[in-house]
């Protein structure tokens, strides 16, 4: 019997590790090459809607996710000036009952660690994933198209039947296979902040944030702000999006101060400035880039996944979630294929994923203007639309959160998991 396929995954972020785990469970032999000296994630929160939760639960991770999750009860939309509620969408049990999967928040490092451990657990299903750090991929040699070889900055060569470029928005794999230059700077930047929960609890002006966990979006002219609690209330995660300042497009990210954030939101409701003022030194600001929709994700036996092929603005909180959907579909295709039909499996992967991810990419981009309208008739119309809310832009939650991208998803088993 021939040996199972060998896959080299470039990039050990949430997309790459989810792909490694999904392929391991399909019996594939996977090596992950990560540029950084240690695997990890940025110090920030992440939201996973039912579509991503369903993928992760499908790997059998529910007990680990329950341990690290924080569950918001509602999604709340507020107006910048006075905090009045524009719209309220039920999450919590409603999501589990309606979509058979939860809407949960995590610290990124916790989620990353759970997936990493599942990749390398000797008791896990399928061959243990080999993770190699300090391995920056610089090129791909496809002289034998059936055995692509990645080369690293320090001269190592690692070959496989398939190479997966999960190396993020500035993907070297994408460049190596001659991907089109689809990178776009949005003209905005995002402050990312974690505030200690005890500071939030101690102040009556912010105590409401821990009384009921919610996912909150504040809408204002030219800017918005998203926040939610992590680690059961130990941390408040804030993402504050504002027009970009000079230089951020070139530097991509820099350290930031509480004072500059307060200046950006100085006319906003006191609740916003109260929470921002509690941030410590650990504030950063990131240029907001995305990629134009582009359905070319494969060259020979090299395929792209996640931000490498469909980096999107975070205005639907779906970038990592779509990468997880890619991961599960790619593994399903490669797990069912023969060595001879790898090109067919990769073509089917792209056919099953690129239109869907592209629609989410476009809808996230449309939210850029939709979120940031100046006060006036258009904003009032938007708020009315949000009040009778079933999604943002023209992508409904029903479409985004329901069902599964997998051919073999056992939807009933998800139902069962929550009622055990
Ligand atoms: C402010 C903000 C908030 C967001 N919130 C959410 C959210 O709530 N929910 C959600 O689903 N998404 C969210 N996203 C999007 C999400 O963060 C990304 O879509 C997701 O992290 C992409 O995962 P990835 O694995 O494709 O890429 P990355 O996370 O960028 O990982 C790429 C990995 O590859 C490594 N690498 C890069 N180059 C090389 C190389 N040459 N060789 C080897 N390794 C390499 C990197 O070190 C990194 O580990 C948000 C994004 C932002 C900016």
Q: Write out pLDDT tens, residues 321-377.
A: 999 999 999 999 999 999 999 999 999 999 999 999 999 999 999 999 999 999 999
CA distance 394 to 377: 20
Q: What is the value of pTM for the model shown?
A: 0.96
Do the domain assignments include residue 56? yes
Do the domain assignments include residue 413? no
Find, among 307, 302, 301, 341, the residue nearest to 326 by Cα.
307
Looking at the CA of residue 33, tell me the nearest atom of ligand 1: 43
Backbone angles phi, psi at 175, to 5 degrees: -65, -45
Do the domain assignments include residue 401? no
Do the domain assignments include residue 90? no
Long-range contacts of 410-419 (CB under 8 A, 24+ apart): 410/58, 411/100, 414/54, 414/57, 414/58, 414/100, 414/101, 415/100, 417/57, 417/62, 418/96, 418/100, 418/102
Residue from 31, 167, 169, 291 whose mutation best tests the ligand 1 pocket (most atoms within 8 A of CB): 167
Q: Where are the alpha helices (DSSP H) in 35-179?
A: 50-58, 62-68, 92-99, 108-120, 172-176
What is the tens place of the pLDDT at every residue in 357-368? Answer: 999 999 999 999
CATH number at residue 66: 3.50.50.60
Q: Where are the alpha helices (DSSP H) in 74-107?
A: 92-99
Active site residues: 228
For residue 40, the model assigns a pLDDT of: 85
Residue 146, domain extent: 6-72+100-182+291-369
Query: Which residues have C-beta atoms less than 6 Å from ligand 1?
Result: 10-16, 33-36, 46-47, 135-137, 166-168, 172, 190, 192, 239, 286, 306-307, 314, 317-321, 323
Q: Report whether pLDDT(416) > 60.
A: no
For residue 41, the model assigns a pLDDT of: 83
Ligand 1 center to 93 CA (angstroms):
29
Minimum CA distance residue for ligand 1 atom 35 = 11
Average pLDDT value for residue range 45-54 = 96
Residue that is written with structure tokens 């080369």 in the block: 151
CA distance 222 to 415: 41
Do the domain assignments include residue 302? yes
Query: CA angle, corner 45, sides to 83 and 322, nearest 5?
Result: 105
Distances from the Cα of 276 to the Cα of 44, 72, 203, 314, angstroms: 15, 20, 13, 20
What is the tens place of the pLDDT at every residue in 161-181? Answer: 999 999 999 999 999 999 999
What is the tens place of the pLDDT at every residue in 10-27? Answer: 999 999 999 999 999 999
Find, among 108, 99, 6, the residue nearest to 55 by Cα.
99
How many domains does one find in the chain?
A: 1
Find, among 307, 399, 407, 299, the residue nearest to 359 by Cα.
399
Residue from 168, 326, 401 whose mutation best tests the ligand 1 pocket (most atoms within 8 A of CB): 168
Minimum CA distance residue for ligand 1 atom 28 = 168
What is the tens place of the pLDDT at every residue in 376-396? Answer: 999 999 999 898 876 666 788
Do the domain assignments include residue 118? yes
Minimum CA distance residue for ligand 1 atom 21 = 320
Contacts of 246 (CB under 8 A, 6+ apart): none
Radius of gyration of the chain (CA): 21
89 confidence band (pLDDT: 50, 70, 90): very high
Do the domain assignments include residue 259? no
């Amino acid at each position: 019997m021939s040996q199972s396929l060998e896959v080299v995954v470039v990039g050990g972020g949430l997309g790459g590790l989810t792909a490694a785990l999904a392929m391991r469970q399909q019996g594939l032999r996977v090596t992950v090459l990560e540029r950084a000296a240690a695997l990890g994630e940025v110090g920030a929160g992440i939201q996973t809607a039912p579509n991503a939760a369903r993928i992760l639960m499908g790997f059998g991770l529910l007990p680990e996710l329950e341990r690290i999750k924080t569950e918001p009860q509602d999604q709340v939309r507020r107006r910048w000036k006075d905090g009045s509620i524009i719209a309220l969408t039920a999450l919590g049990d409603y999501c589990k009952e309606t979509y058979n999967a939860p809407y949960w928040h995590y610290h990124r490092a916790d989620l990353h660690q759970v997936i990493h451990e599942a990749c390398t657990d000797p008791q896990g299903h399928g061959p243990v994933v080999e993770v190699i750090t300090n391995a920056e991929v610089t090129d791909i040699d496809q002289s034998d198209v059936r055995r692509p070889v990645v080369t690293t900055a320090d001269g190592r060569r690692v070959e496989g039947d398939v190479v997966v470029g999960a190396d993020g928005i500035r993907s070297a794999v994408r460049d190596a296979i001659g991907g089109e230059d689809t990178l776009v700077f949005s003209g905005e930047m995002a402050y990312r902040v974690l505030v200690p929960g005890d500071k939030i609890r101690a102040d009556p002006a912010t105590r409401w944030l821990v009384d009921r966990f919610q996912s909150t979006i504040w809408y204002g002219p030219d800017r918005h702000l998203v926040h939610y609690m992590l680690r059961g209330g130990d941390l408040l995660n804030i993402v504050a999006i504002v027009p970009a300042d000079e230089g951020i497009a070139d530097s991509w990210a820099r350290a930031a101060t509480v004072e500059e954030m307060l200046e950006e939101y100085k006319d906003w409701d006191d609740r916003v400035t109260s929470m921002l003022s509690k941030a410590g030194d650990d504030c950063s600001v990131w240029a907001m880039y995305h990629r134009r929709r582009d359905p070319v994700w494969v060259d020979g036996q090299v395929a792209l996944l996640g931000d490498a092929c469909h980096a999107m603005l975070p205005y639907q909180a779906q970038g990592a979630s779509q990468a997880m959907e890619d991961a599960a579909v790619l593994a399903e295709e490669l797990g069912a294929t023969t060595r001879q039909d790898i090109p067919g499996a990769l073509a089917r992967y792209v056919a099953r994923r690129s239109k869907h991810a592209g629609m989410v990419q476009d809808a996230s981009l449309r939210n850029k203007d939709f979120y940031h309208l100046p006060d006036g008739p258009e904003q009032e119309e938007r708020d009315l639309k949000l009040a009778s809310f079933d999604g943002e832009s023209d992508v409904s939650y029903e479409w985004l959160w329901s069902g599964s991208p997998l051919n073999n998803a056992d939807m009933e088993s998800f139902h069962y998991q929550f009622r055990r």
